[in-house]
Copies of this chain bind each other. A is one copy, B any other.
Amino acid sequence: MMDMETKFAGLLRDRNLKATPKRLELLSVVANYHTAIPYSELQKELHHFDRVTLYRTINALLDSGIIHKASVSSDEVYYAMCKEYCTSECHNHKHVHFKCLECLEVSCVDVTNPIQIQIPNTIVKQVEIEVSGVCSKCI
């Protein structure tokens, strides 16, 4: 089986991004974090990154659809790997973001039956759903 690093390098090269050590490290941190990782945690784990490098690396990965952002209830920003193949134009997720109000963990939850939302006289292109509540561990 292909190891993580090889897989990440492939993801990067597919999008014409160079597979640099910084990017591979950031991806490994994001991927190994059990849930969506808060920005502050990324900073902590990657404190040896220059602030600007962290900023640009995150942006590059967001733009190219390798990671995605989840900002539930407008406090801190969280990042997680994209599961499906996403591009800069279209982040296509069949999941919702769930934030536990107790432990503050944010996770991506797959939804079985796709959520249909129709708004009269409009074309709906993208739907983002952010749910907050209490997770199984905190009940």
Q: Is the CB of B127 within 8 A of A98?
A: no
How far apart are A59's CB and chain B's nearest CB, in angstroms? 12
**Copies of this subunit:** 2
CB neighbours of A127 from chain B (8 A): 129-131
What range describes how many residues of A lie at the interface? Answer: 20 to 34
Q: Is the CB of A74 within 8 A of B73?
A: no
Whether, in the assembled complex, A84 has its beta carbon less than 8 Å from a beta carbon of chain B, the answer is no
Whether, in the assembled complex, A43 has its beta carbon less than 8 Å from a beta carbon of chain B, the answer is no
- With contacts A128-B129, A129-B117, A131-B127 taken as known, whether A98 is within 8 angstroms of B122 at the C-beta atoms is yes
Q: Is the CB of A126 within 8 A of B119?
A: no
CB neighbours of A122 from chain B (8 A): 98, 100, 133-136, 139
Whether, in the assembled complex, A88 has its beta carbon less than 8 Å from a beta carbon of chain B, the answer is no
Q: In chain A, residues 23-69, which have Cβ atoms closer than 8 Å to a Cβ of chain B?
A: 69
Q: Which of B72, B98, B128 contacts A119 (CB 8 A)?
A: B98
Please name the 6 residue pairs, one residue from A and one from B, whose CB atoms are nearest each other, closest first: A121-B136, A125-B133, A123-B134, A124-B133, A128-B130, A123-B133
Known: A98-B122, A122-B135. 4 other contacts (CB 8 A): A72-B128, A98-B119, A121-B135, A124-B131
